[in-house]
Amino acid sequence: MSRDHAPEDKPGHRPGGSSSTAEASPLKHPRPCDIVCLAGTTWDGLYLKSTVELMKEFARRSGGRAAGHRVLFVDHPGTIKSLVHDHDGHLHVPVTPLRRLGGFMETRPVPGGEIHLLHPPAMIPHNRLRPGPARRMVMRANRAAYARAVKRSVEHLGLRRIILVNAWEPLFGAGLVGGLGEILSVYYCYDEMSAAPWKARHAALAEEELLRKVDLLIATSPRLLETRRIHNPRAHMVPNGVDFHLFNRATHPGQALHPWLRDIPSPVVGYHGTVDQRVDAGLLEYLARKEPGWSFVLVGPERLDRADRASLKALPNVHLFGPLPGTELPGVLKAFDAGIIPFRHTDFTAAIYPLKVNEYLAAGRPVVMTDFAPLDDVGDLVAVASDGAGFHRALALALKDPASMAHARIRQARRASWRNRAELFADFLDQALRERGAV
């Protein structure tokens, strides 16, 4: 399959993740509202994150402070320990450790607007504490510090008619529902908390509390919607989206291959994202041994266990690369002849709507995935396999895929743009506000 397809950017759009003024016009809303987003992630980082992308769109719709639609994005708070250790426990020295220790707020530009970004003060380490008086005392102190920082920022910015969006942050955010004088509270749920190793121990119970408190639930997958609406029936689904213009650059003739992949022989079967316990390393090993002439490329942080890592690195046609900023991924996808999502079927993956599926489609690439979760909105544009033999057959067909099929995939990805996902999100907010007489 040719790696170049007719790009789908229309006149009036700029490639590279930024849009023209035509796309930067405000989203429709009956009256101005300010948004406070309590995020279960941080604004910065290599990963493209659904919460960040949606809040960029809501900031874009604001048209600036004058229009009244301002966004305060509250980073997930780190602990004192995390200020000097990374995700894997390695020592590092932060650029501004004392500043982050006490917390601070800054303003960041986004296309068509700006974001007010609050870095809360560092929390007392709590994840390893067993349930009991000591943990309760630590969490009371942490939640109080978090709430004070948020309330000070809301007051400083003069936010009014607040919509409180808790984006997968129940542990610190549940206690703020009703505490900001908000006109609407929303829980945005994008992963299975009870199956997330770093959240399951304490946050799952806090999530149930949050679900009972909020006015509205928005989930990203059918499984999350089904399991959470038990606690809150006012529920809707907004699947994850894609930075269409960024990933569609992989179809542009002028887009260069990323230097890491220039010497990788074709065909290239590619995966981008974290290579961790979700990835079925046994399936990858089976495919690589069955097709020694295919190159299997995995780009992203690698957190496999020792045995799986050793098995894959021993194969000459498997190439494990490290993480890259999202802006460099078009050059990676340019080299892919097919994109894969080889996830295991677990409670965690069953609730996933992976961002990468529409990123592959925006690049025009055929996609093969395991049957870990239903992705009904992509229909037959993605091949789904239930075992290794089926995955191999589907991948062999994908590598013979005619270039003409790329246009249908690109059209699907355009429909899944973050702009369109934000419009749907806003529609559900407006509906809830009308029902509450708050428009």
DSSP string, 59-74: HHHHTSGGGT--EEEE
The domain segmentation of the chain, as residue ranges, is 34-241+417-435, 244-415
- Three-state secondary-structure class, residue 37: strand
Do the domains 244-415 and 34-241+417-435 match in fold? Answer: yes
pLDDT tens column, 304-347: 999 999 999 999 999 999 999 999 999 999 999 999 999 999 99
pLDDT tens column, 50-102: 999 999 999 985 443 323 479 999 999 988 777 665 544 444 444 455 556 78
> Residue 126: what are its φ and ψ, rounded to 5°?
-140, -15
Cα–chain-centroid distance for residue 351? 13
* Residue 130 pLDDT grade (very low, low, confident, very high; cuts 50, 70, 90): confident
In the sheet where 295-299 sits, what is the strand order?
A: 318-321, 295-299, 268-272, 338-341, 367-370, 382-385
Indicate if the pLDDT at residue 399 is higher than 90: yes
pTM of the model as a whole? 0.91
| Integer Cα distance of 198 and 95 in angstroms | 25
Say which residue the tokens 């910015």 belong to. 157
Indicate if the pLDDT at residue 165 is higher than 80: yes
Per the model's pLDDT, the better-predicted residue between 404 and 317 turns out to be 317
* Residue 10 pLDDT grade (very low, low, confident, very high; cuts 50, 70, 90): very low
Superfamily of the domain at 34-241+417-435: Glycogen Phosphorylase B; (3.40.50.2000)
pLDDT tens column, 172-229: 999 999 999 999 999 999 999 988 876 767 788 899 999 999 999 999 999 999 999 9
Q: What is the pLDDT of residue 17?
A: 34
pLDDT tens column, 223-253: 999 999 999 999 999 999 999 999 999 999 9
Closest among 216, 208, 258 to 233, alpha carbons compared: 216
Q: Does domain 244-415 have CATH number 1.10.800.10?
A: no
What is the rounded (10 degree) CA torsion for 303, 305, 306, 307?
-130
- Identify whether the C-beta of residue 39 lies closer than 8 Å to the C-beta of residue 191: no
